[in-house]
Structures are given as C-alpha cells and as structure tokens.
Amino acid sequence: MLREVTATCYFEPLRSGGSVPGVVEADDLGTYVMKFTGSAQGVKALVAEVIVGELARRLGLRVPELVLAHFDPALAAHEPHQEVRDLLDASPGLNLGMDYLPGARDFTPEVAMACTVDPLEAGRIVWLDALTVNVDRTVHSSNLMVWPTFGTAPPKLWLIDHGAALVFHHRWDASSPEKAYDFRHHALGHFAPDTRAAEAELSPRVTRDLLREITEEVPDAWLAEEPGFATPEEVRDAYADYLAARAKASESWLPTDFPTRRELADEQAARAARTQEGRPDWLKRVPDLHGKPAAQQDWSVHLG
C-alpha cells in the first residue's frame, strides 16, 4: 500500500501544469510535489496518477515514489495568490504526493537532442501510454524528467504526471478497450520505440489480478461518488476489467508509426504556413502570445 505522510510545511506552487501542484515537506522529512483534490481536474486525475504510476512501477519503469499526503490549508496561509489559496482551501485532508527529484530537468526537445534512449525502453513507455490512454506525453509536453543530472551516474528517464490518462473513466460507456489513439507525436517517437518487443514483454504481465491489486491503492474517498457505481469496490473492478481487456486487445491499438525529427519539423512548418494563409499582413506580424519556448515551437532550429 502507498505510505501515508502528513505535510508539515508548504513551500511554493508549481505553475508549469494546469493542476498547479505545490512543493511540501512532510513529517517523514521528505520533500514532495503535492497534487490536490481541489484542482480543476478533480479526484479522477489523482486516481489516474495512482493507477498508471503504480502500474508503471510494477512493469519496471521509473516513477518517483507516490504517497498519500494529508494536508492542512493553514500551512499555506502565507500564499499570496488568491487563485492558489482557493485551490489549497478546497483541498483539506488526503491528497497525493510525488517524491521531489532535486535537480531533475524536464525532457524538453533541447534535452532530448542530447540524450540517447534505448528503443526498447522507449517502446515500453509508449506501450504503457497506449495501454492507459495517456495522450499527454508529447514532444511539446513530455511529462518526463531526466535525473540524476549531477555526478558520474548517467541520467535516466522518470515518468511523471499521469493525471490526463485513463480518459475512458470520464465516459465509461462510450469507449472501447480496442480503440486506437494517435501516438505519432509521442515524446519518444523519434527514438525508434520498439513497441512490438515491449508488447511481447509487458502484455502478459498486465493481468486482471495485478490491476485489481493496484486499484486497492486508491483511497475509497476518491472512488465513492463515481456515477453509475454503488461502491468503491465496483469502481475498482471496472478499472481492472477495462485495462485487462485492453491489454489483451493490444494488437488493435499498438502504435508503430512514428515520424522522424525532420518529419516533425516539416509537419509543424506546414501547419504554421496553413495558419498564416489568408491572414492580412498586419496579423501575420502579431507575435505568438501563448508563450511557448522557442525550442518547442520549431524543431527545425535543432536540425540545421
């Protein structure tokens, strides 16, 4: 079972994601990135974090330790931003913590250019994402960290932020376990992921018993009000049944087609050109106000 800790100090919010997690210290003297039940994504995002994160760990992938973290909003009385305070005030009690990796770097396109990722490791991660319908690990938002980034040890990939996975649990009756999704723009797509080898290795290990065991890690309170289910146990069964059926149907959704870096750059250039078509000259000169880093706007700058 996931360990339980109690937050003793709130440091700051992290604004890199839409859920606005916060950095806290707990009574075990550990530092955690805490994700809150009061976020706009709600408790289903935390359910997805637990199920996908713990499944990844059982399959041998690197995920920072997850803990169930008790939080008192009074710890953040010094927080100056009202919208963050509203989030914290809406999140008393049990939340989710992820072990903070000191000095870790985001797996940005610039970092990716300097990394070598084994095709089988890339394949395992892509396969997991396809199984759990995690479409939120793209070249623009990898939800991967590189750590350690100091000393002589080679850096390794760590998987984070799975709150957008398990999209089927937003509409249980409208999604088939055999449905295929577009993973052509996966963050690891240009590392030639060997998804067929990953499927052969991992699919037999994703049993219903394993999935049912993992769903026991999710607190009852996060499952108690799921529409259409009478008890948390019924919800756990539904997750285990769906993912087990999806694992057995992997041939129908296995992603195998990934563009190269050059093809990604060409696609983005073509998309930008289409966006400019028909615009008046004055509008073409308006800068991008969405604030994406240059490295995420145009892969061609890395290609020469």
Q: What average pLDDT does this structure show over 277-284?
A: 70
Residues 90 and 36 in one domain: yes
Listed in sequence order, the residues at least 6 apart from 144 whose beta carbon sits closer than 8 Å to its beta carbon are: 106, 107, 125, 137, 157, 158, 159, 160, 187, 188
Banded model confidence at residue 261, pLDDT cuts 50, 70, 90: confident
Residue 115 included in any domain: yes
Residue 304 included in any domain: no
Residues 47 and 90 in one domain: yes
Percent above pLDDT 90 for the chain:
77
3-state secondary structure the chain: CCCEEEEEEEEEECCCCCCCCEEEEECCCCEEEEECCCCCCCHHHHHHHHHHHHHHHHCCCCCCCEEEEEECHHHHCCCCCHHHHHHHHCCCEEEEEEECCCCCEECCHHHHHCCCCCHHHHHHHHHHHHHCCCCCCECCCCCEEEECCCCCCCCEEEECCCCCCCHHHHCHHHCCCCCCCCCCCECCHHHCCCHHHHHHHHHHHCCHHHHHHHHCCCCHHHCCCCCCCCCHHHHHHHHHHHHHHHHHCHHHHCCCCCCCHHHHHHHHHHHHHHHHCCCCHHHHCCCCCCCCCHHHHCHHHHCC
Residues 239 and 208 in one domain: yes
Residues 211 and 238 in one domain: yes
Residues 143 and 73 in one domain: no
Residue 149 included in any domain: yes
Residue 172 included in any domain: yes
Residue 273 included in any domain: no
pLDDT in tens, 15-30: 876 789 999 999 999 9
Residues 242 and 195 in one domain: yes
pLDDT in tens, 144-158: 999 998 877 788 999
Domain final residue pick, 99, 117, 151:
99
**4-13 and 66-71: which strand pairing?**
parallel
Question: Range of 203's domain?
Answer: 105-253
Please check the confidence at residue 278 and state whether its pLDDT lies above 80: no
Q: What average pLDDT does this structure show over 275-301?
A: 54
When divided into structural domains, the chain yields a total of: 2
- Cα atoms in the 13 Å half-sphere on the side-chain side of 145: 19
The pLDDT of residue 70 is 98
Residues 126 and 223 in one domain: yes
The pLDDT of residue 15 is 83
d(CA 86, CA 155): 37
Residue 300 included in any domain: no
Residue 170 included in any domain: yes
Max intra-chain CA distance, the chain: 61
Residues 141 and 246 in one domain: yes
The pLDDT of residue 282 is 67
Which of 38-52, 67-81, 103-117, 211-225 is the least confident region? Answer: 103-117
Domain final residue pick, 64, 99, 134:
99
Banded model confidence at residue 300, pLDDT cuts 50, 70, 90: very low
Residues 48 and 128 in one domain: no
Residues 139 and 75 in one domain: no
Residues 121 and 249 in one domain: yes
pLDDT in tens, 45-78: 999 999 999 999 999 999 999 999 999 999 999 9
Residue 275 included in any domain: no
Residues 113 and 220 in one domain: yes
The pLDDT of residue 180 is 96
Domain final residue pick, 47, 69, 99:
99
The pLDDT of residue 296 is 40
Please check the confidence at residue 178 and state whether its pLDDT lies above 70: yes
The pLDDT of residue 288 is 52
